[in-house]
Structure 1
Amino acid sequence: MSKLDKLTRSQRQAVTAELTASERRMASIKTIESTAGERAACPHCCPKGTVKNRMADGLQRYSRVCGRSFNALTGTPLARLRMKGKWLDQTAALRDGLSLTEASRRLGVSRPTAFRWRHRFLATPKTVQARVLVGIAESDETYFLRSSKGQRKDLGRNPRHRGGKATKRGLSKEQVPVLVARDRAGSTADFVLEADDHAHVAAALKPLLPRDTILCTDGSSVLTAAAREMGVTHRPVNLSSGIRIVAGVYHVQNVNAYDSRLKTWMRRFNGVATK
């Protein structure tokens, strides 16, 4: 500390950069440790009860009677990734919807690393789903153009450029159905459906909706049939007739707003591979 005043400007800048990188790394590690907490079970042998072992690469390691050790990232998509000091910036790049080129430039990593990080970081959030919707729930279907980006063979059609458009108007096999369900507390679940029919919709929604849930939809025949099959109270809203709210509380504005935000965020990528 006593030597700081004697450093040249370039040396002080180097020290500042080093401290900033170290602080970002510690912030990432703090986030990882705080969200993971004490591991309840060993990912190798499963029995509960762990003992703190040692620190490695900034993370606390735990041990079990099986003799193997693990940390908060073992068994997760982020295991064995390096440069933890840039992970919080990577989450910001995902939030901002940056392209791979923009992300690699902001993070100071190569494009292959930016690509690998993108898919590793997206692997966990896509599995985070609401397990139950309570009170008044809303459900709606939205559609994404089927994309074979990255696929070189067996397209079954002429290649499109930068997303492209469907050859047919309205719904067809070119569209991938996505079901979204939300309750008024903001709990959300979404599903990529194999087919747009009431059987697949009911199979996706039934585990989420207790019998006392009130389901609001736009009145589509598929959602109406699914609600009947599940045996939940159904309150359809006839949007085509200009009716957006029924009895002051039944509407689908929350789920429609979610669909709109999702599509706006996805549009900047000019077509995302369906796989």
Structure 2
Amino acid sequence: MPLSYMTDHRSVRKIVEAGIGVNHTTVWRWRHRFLKAAAQDNTATLSGVIEADETFFVRSCKGHRGWVKGRPPEPRAARPRAWGTTKRGLSDEQVPVLTALDNAGGVYEAILPSLTAIETTLDGRIAPGSVVCSDGTAAYVKAAVKAGAEHRRVVVPTTTPVTVKVAPLPTKRRQKGRLGLGRVNAHHGQIKALVNGRCRGVATRYLGNYLGWHRAMLHEGFTGKALLDRALA
């Protein structure tokens, strides 16, 4: 499989159609050998100004043949990918992904068993003296205090007041140095575009591989050969 195809998130089908003489199964298997190695690369310790937040992906058994063979992987009927969840709001049908990144370009991501694991997941990942920005969830505050860091709560409005909709206020220039969650939210938008858009959904068991792929792509001068070298290291 030409390694250059790993730099533009080309689908397995597109790679096979390129006429490289390798079948679908082989391309898929080799891709995940590379991505499994990338999934293990996370920034060990974040420092400086750190933004932390979580996002959610629908729990997926994409590609599983259990329903056909009478051994479903989950106690539910098979459903089309576009259906999403059957329950409103947060539930066990969604998988939380924690992202923490600092202003030096360090990124740490983890797929959580539940939101109660935020504090333990960040244990040892935050350098003393750092400033942790979050939405104020207690787990982030505890993680920052435990690490000897400062915590800043960033209030993000979820609704627009009716008065603002009727008479919009003039746009104000963002104050230089003001803390927020813009970078981590943008990062979540990028991984959602990759997983849900470019890849049209991935099985939850392989979600970590694709998150690692995206982190690898963030490195300056990234090439497909870098993934190969990491896999063979």
In the aligned structure 1, how far is the partner of 2:138 from the partner of 2:23?
A: 49
Q: Which residue of 2 aligns with 1:139?
A: 52
Q: Which residue of 2 aligns with 1:260?
A: 189
Q: Which residue of 2 aligns with 1:178?
A: 97
Higher relative contact order (CA 8 A, sep 6+): 2
Q: Which residue of 2 aligns with 1:209?
A: 126
Percent same amino acid at aligned positions? 33
In the aligned structure 2, how far is the partner of 1:229 from the partner of 1:167?
A: 38
CA deviations on 1:4-58 (whole Å, 9 max, x unpaired) are xxxxxxxxxxxxxxxxxxxxxxxxxxxxxxxxxxxxxxxxxxxxxxxxxxxxxxx
CA contact (8 A) 2:124 2:147 kept: no
Q: Which residue of 2 aligns with 1:194?
A: 113
For normalisation by structure 1, the TM-score amounts to 0.61
**Residue type of the alignment partner of 1:127:** Q
Q: Which residue of 2 aligns with 1:273?
A: 203
CA deviations on 1:172-223 (whole Å, 9 max, x unpaired) are 01010100000001110100011111xx212211211022111001223443
CA deviations on 1:102-127 (whole Å, 9 max, x unpaired) are 12112522111111122111111111
SS in 1 for 2:83: coil
In the aligned structure 2, how far is the partner of 1:205 from the partner of 1:157?
A: 33
In the aligned structure 2, how far is the partner of 1:186 from the partner of 1:148?
A: 32
Residue 220 of structure 1 is aligned with which of 137, 150, 159? 137
SS in 2 for 1:124: helix
CA contact (8 A) 2:42 2:108 kept: yes
RMSD: 2.5
Pairwise CA distance, 1:271 = 2.2
Q: Which residue of 2 aligns with 1:164?
A: 83
Pairwise CA distance, 1:132 = 1.0
Structure 1, unpaired ranges of 5+: 1-85
- Going from structure 1 to structure 2, the CA distance change for 1:89 and 1:248 (only over 3 Å counts) comes to closer
CA contact (8 A) 1:147 1:163 kept: no
Residue 236 of structure 1 is aligned with which of 137, 153, 166? 153
Pairwise CA distance, 1:231 = 4.4
Pairwise CA distance, 1:257 = 0.6
SS in 2 for 1:260: helix
Which one has the largest radius of gyration? 1
Superposition pairs for residues 1-275 of structure 1, below 5 Å? Answer: 86-92=1-7, 95-96=8-9, 98-106=10-18, 108=20, 109-151=22-64, 152=66, 153-197=72-116, 200-240=117-157, 248-268=177-197, 269-275=199-205
SS in 1 for 2:186: helix
Pairwise CA distance, 1:143 = 0.5
For normalisation by structure 2, the TM-score amounts to 0.71
CA contact (8 A) 1:142 1:177 kept: yes
